[in-house]
Structure 1
């Protein structure tokens, strides 16, 4: 009888200790999750993924017109330099219920290095300086407008080392030459398809290619 009593006491103590440890473990989990901003999951509960509970139709992207709800990556079609082709392509996309916009994309980006003499107070002064440069065998012309109006252009170079060489040469003749760096580029019009159209079928692209064989498909940021 005494052994049975001792067994029950030990069992109850063990059960009580287990409950205390389990409660302590859950409290630690809850505290850590509160610090990390994640809701605690109690033992036995199932974690539900965000993707669960969606219909298959919700996972397919539809071709829609209107404002994009995604500022991520979009498809670009182009270049479309010809205005008639732009109009035809726009009508084609509208019939297909595809949202789009037109963007001018920078191509052939480069840096030009212009060697020049600073603008003169008057046109007459610039003309006098031009004559002095010619007498030294330096080709130049008066800049007609802009921030450097009435300055003198001494050449534009695609490589900086060549511009520096020209600047040093003109400076050695007694003129105060400078270098101005400027970004240059060409613009091409491209159609930017709505971001919600990024999963359009291969059939759509095949038909588009047949209708517009010169059009290329690329990817870029929507904004």
Structure 2
């Protein structure tokens, strides 16, 4: 009887050892980290090969760098868009004979949720040609020279201000040929006259809309034309319009 009990005890120990060994083998079957054959497997980091971990870490860093480069490229594209918008066009409506007329139209547009403002804009007119004597050292010297010229029958006057202050003016002409002819005539009389082009500018009253995409409705535009005959719509660089108003 005692041998039978002892035999059963030894058999139980054997079975316990077999089950323990088999469980450990199953728990140690781990798919390598670098295996991409199955996306559903899970690997324990503590059981992975250090070389495989280094390779996986390098791949992750490369992906992160590529993602950052893509974000940077999008940022550069945004700066290009900002540069393009800086050179955008502004829509203009006008000109108006009086400043209050432009202000009235701007208020009407603002009431319709259209961004608009009345503004004086410097317009370039016909080129002029100024015949003159270069500025002298002082106002006193300029008037002394003026008396000499007038005594010789030369029509002239002292320039009171500007870049030619204390110079002598002989006239401003709309035709280049007349300016050149007078200059040569004065030089033949011993006067060191010269001439230069002077762009003629003048101010006009316009309404500046918020941007190039702003469009007036046909009904509103027709009403404006009835109220202010002769007005028109134009487009110009916004930066140039601002520069004209600031100058």
Displacement of 1:221 = 2.3
What's 2:172 paired with? 156
- Aligned in 2, Cα 1:97/1:154: closer, same or farther, shift over 3 Å? same
Q: Which whole-Å deviations, capped at 9, do the CAs of 1:169-205 have from their partners, x for residues lacking one?
A: 111111111112221121102112232322x432232
- Conserved? CA contact 2:90–2:236, under 8 Å: yes
Q: 1:91 to 1:215 in 2, by over 3 A?
A: farther
Q: Is the Cα–Cα contact under 8 Å of residues 76 and 192 in structure 1 kept in the other structure? A: yes
Spell out, residue by residue over 1:8-67, the C-alpha distance to the aligned partner (whole angstroms, 9 max, x if none): xxxxxxxxxxxxxxxxxxxxxxxxxxxxxxxxxxxxxxxxxxxxxxxxxxxxxxxxxxxx
Could you tell me which residue of structure 2 aligns to residue 90 of structure 1?
106
Compared with structure 1, are the counterparts of its residues 90 and 215 closer, same or farther at alpha carbon in structure 2 (3 Å cutoff)?
farther
Which of the pair is proportionally richer in helix?
2
For the residue of structure 2 that corresponds to 1:220, the secondary structure is strand
Q: Which has the higher contact order (CA 8 A, sep 6+)?
A: 1
Which segment drifts farther, 166-175 or 103-112?
103-112
1:127 is paired with a residue whose SS is helix
- Aligned position for 2:70: none
How many Å apart are 1:154 and its aligned residue?
0.8
Deviation at 1:74, TM superposition (A): 4.6
1:119 maps to what in 2? 135
Question: Of residues 187, 207, 214 in structure 1, which corresponds to 2:229?
Answer: 214
Partner of 2:92: 76
Question: Residues 220, 127 of structure 1: CA spacing in aligned structure 2 closer, same or farther, 3 A cutoff?
Answer: same
SS class of match (1:197): coil
Within 2, Cα distance between the matches of 1:215 and 1:88? Answer: 17
**TM-score, normalised via structure 2 length:** 0.55
For 1:72 and 1:220, the matched residues in 2 are separated by 10
Offset at 1:137? 1.3
Q: Deviations over 1:108-142 (max 9, x none)?
A: 51222111111111223222211221222110011
Pair member with larger Rg: 2
Partner of 1:36: none
Segments of 5+ residues of structure 1 without an aligned counterpart are 1-68
- When structure 1 is superposed on structure 2, of 139-148 and 103-112 the one drifting more is 103-112
Q: Partner of 1:94: helix, strand, or coil? A: helix
C-alpha distance in 2, partners of 1:208/1:161?
A: 43
How many residues end up aligned between the 2 structures? Answer: 153
Structure 1 moving runs of 4+ over 6 Å: none
- Superimposed CA distance per residue, residues 44-100 of structure 1 (whole angstroms, 9 cap, x where no aligned partner): xxxxxxxxxxxxxxxxxxxxxxxxx79655542212242332332222111211112
Residue segments in structure 2 that go unaligned for 5+ positions in a row: 1-84, 239-247
